[in-house]
Amino acid sequence: MRIVLDAMGSDTCPEPEVVAALEAARLFGEEIILVGPADQLRPRLTALGGENPLVRIVHAPDVITMEDKGLGLALKAKRREAKTSMAIGIDFVKDGAADAFVTAGNTGGAMATAYYRLGTIPGVERPGLTALFPNKTGFCTVLDIGANPDCKPEHLLVFAIMGSVFSQKVRGVQSPRVGLISNGEEAGKGNELVKGAYPLLAASGLNFVGNLEGKEIFGGEADVVVADGFTGNVLLKTSEAVAKLMSDLIKEEIKNSKSLGAKIGGLLVKPVLKNMMKKKLDPAEVGAALLLGVNGLVYIGHGRSDSRAMVSAIRVARQAVDAKLLDAVRQAIQERLTTQKIQEAV
Amino acid sequence: MRIVLDAMGSDTCPEPEVVAALEAARLFGEEIILVGPADQLRPRLTALGGENPLVRIVHAPDVITMEDKGLGLALKAKRREAKTSMAIGIDFVKDGAADAFVTAGNTGGAMATAYYRLGTIPGVERPGLTALFPNKTGFCTVLDIGANPDCKPEHLLVFAIMGSVFSQKVRGVQSPRVGLISNGEEAGKGNELVKGAYPLLAASGLNFVGNLEGKEIFGGEADVVVADGFTGNVLLKTSEAVAKLMSDLIKEEIKNSKSLGAKIGGLLVKPVLKNMMKKKLDPAEVGAALLLGVNGLVYIGHGRSDSRAMVSAIRVARQAVDAKLLDAVRQAIQERLTTQKIQEAV
C-alpha cells in the first residue's frame, strides 16, 4: 500500500509533513510518497535523520496556498500540466501508482484538484466532504460538511448511500442508521431541500431513521448524518465553537471563583477535561475529512494539523484502502441506479 | 403596563403559569392577565393563596396543544371566533388592552396565531423568531431561529434591521454589529441565499461585520446574528446539544476516573459548573424567544419552562414595552423602505 502525503499543505509546512511521513513509514512499514519542492524537502528529511527508504520524495515545484481561490484556483486544479503538490500527488492516485492522497492544505483547492483530475464515481454528481463527529456513544459520520453549499434532494440521497457504505466498511457498523438534519424531528419538518430528500431516503432501502436535531445527533441516535454542505458546515463550526466556549467558560469560572475548594477542584479536574477533549474532540484522533464520491481516496485535514494529526489521517486512509471502500461505494451507487431504473420502467 | 400570560402553554400547565403570574404581579406591581379555562385557574389561584388583585383571570375554554399542526392548527389560529388561550390572549394585545403576550406553548401555534391575528409590520413579509445566545462576552441576538425554514435574501435584510433595533433598544448596544451565518468568513462564501443577502446587508447602513462562523458567533464578534430559520434552528439545537454533551462527558469522565484527586476535584468543581450553566445556558435566565415583525410583542418560551423562566419572559417583555421596541422597529423598516424607494427613483 502506498499513501501520498502533500508536503506543502499545513500552515507550518513542510516540517510536520516530513515528520509525519517518517513516523508513518516507521509505524506502518509501507511506502509514503511525500510530494513537494525536492530542494526544500530533501534537507529537512536529512536533518531529521531520515534516510528511511520507505519515504520517497516526489518533486512538485508549485503549490496551492490558502490565498488561492476562484478562477485562478480552478485553473491551478484543472490544468493537465499543473505542477502543484496536490495535482502531482492526486495524479499518482489517478494513475494507480498510489492508493490514497492526504493533505492538510486549502480545502477548496484539494476538492477542486480531486474533482477535476479524478472525476466522480458514475452516478455521483456531487462529492461530499465526510467527517467523524463525537457523540454520546462514540462517533457518527457526517456529510456534506462543506463541499456543496447548495444541494438538490438527489445529492442528499447519494450522500446517504456513500455515508452508509463508509460507516459499514470503515467504521464496522452493521446496519448504519442514517438520519437527515432538520429543524424538527417529525416527518414533514424541514426546508424545501429536506422535505424533498425525506421521501427519497425513506424509499432508498437504507436504514433511514428520519429527521434529526442536535440532541439526536450528539445523543448518538444515528451513525450517518446527512445535510447540504452549508448546514453541515454550520453544524461542524458550531459544535467546535461551543465546545471551546464551554471549556473557556469553565476555566474562567474556576479562575474567578472565590472558593478555594473550586480552585483546587479545577486543578484536580484539569487532566480529566484534557483527556476528554483529547479523546473526543482532538482532530489528531479523528484524522481528516474524506472527499467521498471522487474516483480515488482523498483526505483533507485541517491547516493547523500537526504531524500526529497527519499520521492519524494516514491511518484512516489505510483503513479505507484495506476495506476496499471505493469499490463498495461504486457498487452501492450502481445498485441504486439499477433499482431506480427498474422502478421507473415498471 | 399589562402583560398577558397564556395559562395553558407549558408541558405542566397551568401550575407554573399561575405561580409565575402571582410572582410577576408581586415583583413588578402591575397587572398580569392570565388566560385559560377559568374553572381550572380559579381554584389553583386560590390554593396558592393568590387573591392578588393584580392577577386577572380571563376565561378561554379552548387550547392549542403540542399535537395541533397543519391545516387544523392554521384554522384554530386564524378563525375570528377562536376561543383558544392564545387567540384570546393575543387579541388583548391587538386591541390595545395589553402590551405583550407570553406563552410557553406550541411554537408553531403561537407564531400562526400571532401572524394571523396581529398581522405584520408594514414592510415585513416574514416575522423572525429571535433569541439570545450566550457567547464569550455576554449574549448575542440571533434570528430567525425557526419561523421560516426557507427564506429570500430580502427576508434576511429585514431580520437584520429588526435585530439591530432590538439589540439597540432592549439590549442597550450602541451600534450593534450585525453578521450573517455562513460556511466561511470571507465575502463570497455562502449558499445562494447568503450570497444574495450579503450585498443587501453591506448596503443597508447597518453596522454589518460580514459573514460569521461558529467561532465568531460564540467568540462575541457580533451583537446580531442573522440566518434563515432552518440554519438558525440548527445553530440553536446544535449549541444546546453540544453543551449538554460536554457537561455529560465531563461528569462521566470524572465518574470513571481512577484518580481520587479527579473525583474530589469533580465534587469541588460541580457548583462552578452549575453556576456557569445557570448564568449562561439556563433558559430561565434568558426568558423566551420574541417573534419580531408582527404588530405586537409576542414571547414564546420553551414547553419545559418553569415559573422562574416565565417570570424572566415577563421581565424581558416588560423591557421591550418600556423601550417602545415596536415603534422603533416600525420606524426603522419605514426609513429603509423610503431610502430604497429614493435609491430606486434616482
At B51, the pLDDT band (50, 70, 90 cuts) reads confident
Distance from CA of A209 to the nearest CA of B (A): 18
pLDDT at B336: 84
At A254, the pLDDT band (50, 70, 90 cuts) reads confident
pLDDT at A84: 97
pLDDT at B110: 97
pLDDT in tens, A58-67: 999 999 998 9
Residue B228 CA to residue B247 CA, distance in Å, equals 29
A15 Cβ neighbours under 8 A, 6+ residues apart: A44, A307
For domain A1-124+293-346, give the CATH number: 3.40.718.10
Where do the structural domains in chain A lie, given as residue ranges? 1-124+293-346, 132-283
Q: Smallest Cβ distance to B217: which of A229, A241, A248?
A: A241
- Model confidence at B289: pLDDT above 80: yes
- Model confidence at A230: pLDDT above 70: yes
pLDDT at B247: 82
Q: What is the mean pLDDT of chain A?
A: 92
Length of chain A: 346
A276–B191 CB contact, under 8 Å: no
At A283, the pLDDT band (50, 70, 90 cuts) reads low
Determine contact, residues B41/B57, Cβ cutoff 8 Å.
Answer: yes
pLDDT at A281: 61
A237–B215 CB contact, under 8 Å: yes
What's the whole-number mean pLDDT along residues B324-329? 98
CA angle A224, A226, A232 (to 5 degrees): 115
At A78, the pLDDT band (50, 70, 90 cuts) reads very high
Helix (H, G, I), strand (E, B) or coil at B171: coil
Residue A289 CA to residue A111 CA, distance in Å, equals 11
Q: Is there a shared CATH topology between the B1-124+293-346 domain and the B125-286 domain?
A: yes
The Cα diameter of chain A in Å comes to 75
Pairwise pLDDT comparison (A53 vs B321), residue with the higher score: B321
pLDDT at B85: 98
Compute how many other C-beta atoms are within 10 angstroms of the C-beta atom of residue A30. 14
Determine contact, residues B195/B240, Cβ cutoff 8 Å.
Answer: no
Residue A107 CA to residue A152 CA, distance in Å, equals 22
What's the whole-number mean pLDDT along residues B106-134? 96
Percentage of chain A exceeding pLDDT 90: 76
Determine contact, residues A193/A156, Cβ cutoff 8 Å.
Answer: yes
Q: Smallest Cβ distance to A218: which of B214, B245, B271?
A: B245
Distance from CA of A259 to the nearest CA of B (A): 9
pLDDT at B337: 76
Q: How many CB pairs under 8 A join A and B?
A: 194
At B281, the pLDDT band (50, 70, 90 cuts) reads low
- Written out in words, the top-level CATH class of the domain with range A132-283 is alpha beta
ipTM: 0.92
A238–B235 CB contact, under 8 Å: yes
pLDDT at B260: 77
- Of the candidate ranges A89-93, A112-116, A317-321, A332-336, the one whose mean pLDDT is the lowest: A332-336
- Model confidence at A193: pLDDT above 80: yes
What's the whole-number mean pLDDT along residues A107-113? 96
Residues in chain A closer than 8 A to B240 (CB atoms): 214-215
Out of 3.40.140.10, 3.40.50.300, 3.40.50.970, 3.40.718.10, the CATH code matching B125-286 is 3.40.718.10
Q: What is the mean pLDDT of chain B?
A: 92
Determine contact, residues A264/B261, Cβ cutoff 8 Å.
Answer: no
A269–B271 CB contact, under 8 Å: no
DSSP secondary structure code for residue B120 in this structure: B
What's the whole-number mean pLDDT along residues B186-212? 95
pLDDT in tens, A15-57: 999 999 999 999 999 999 999 999 999 999 999 876 788 999 9
Distance from CA of B95 to the nearest CA of A (A): 33
Nearest to A33 by CA among A62, A2, A8, A63: A2
B243–A246 CB contact, under 8 Å: yes
At A213, the pLDDT band (50, 70, 90 cuts) reads very high
- Model confidence at B262: pLDDT above 80: no
Q: Smallest Cβ distance to B233: which of A183, A241, A250?
A: A183
A215–B233 CB contact, under 8 Å: no
- Model confidence at B344: pLDDT above 60: yes
pLDDT at A210: 98
- Of the candidate ranges A83-87, A275-279, B63-67, B259-263, the one whose mean pLDDT is the lowest: A275-279
Q: How far apart are the first and last CA of chain B?
A: 45
Percentage of chain B exceeding pLDDT 90: 76
Residue A313 CA to residue A307 CA, distance in Å, equals 10
Residue B9 CA to residue B11 CA, distance in Å, equals 7
Residues in chain B closer than 8 A to A189 (CB atoms): 149
User: Taken in order B177, B178, B181, B187, is the CA torsion positive or negative?
Assistant: negative
pLDDT at B8: 97
Nearest to B3 by CA among B123, B107, B90: B90
A231–B234 CB contact, under 8 Å: yes
Determine contact, residues B167/B198, Cβ cutoff 8 Å.
Answer: no
- Of the candidate ranges B44-53, B130-139, B172-181, the one whose mean pLDDT is the lowest: B44-53
Residues in chain B closer than 8 A to A261 (CB atoms): 268
Distance from CA of A316 to the nearest CA of B (A): 25
Cis, bond preceding A144 (omega within 30 deg of 0): yes
- Model confidence at B285: pLDDT above 70: no
Nearest to B4 by CA among B120, B85, B106: B85
Determine contact, residues A33/A5, Cβ cutoff 8 Å.
Answer: yes
At A269, the pLDDT band (50, 70, 90 cuts) reads confident
Distance from CA of B286 to the nearest CA of A (A): 17
What's the whole-number mean pLDDT along residues B254-272? 75
Q: Smallest Cβ distance to B136: which of A183, A237, A248?
A: A248
- Model confidence at A130: pLDDT above 80: yes
Residue B340: burial class (beta carbons within 10 Å; 0-12, 13-18, 19+): middle
Residue B135 forms beta bridges with which residues?
B138
- Model confidence at B283: pLDDT above 60: no
Residue A29 CA to residue A18 CA, distance in Å, equals 16
Return the half-sphere exposure (C-beta side, CA atoms, 13 A cut-off) of residue B65.
4
What's the whole-number mean pLDDT along residues A94-98? 97
Best to test chain A binding among B107, B144, B259, B268 (most A CBs inside 10 Å): B268
Residue A190 CA to residue B165 CA, distance in Å, equals 29
Return the half-sphere exposure (C-beta side, CA atoms, 13 A cut-off) of residue B58.
23
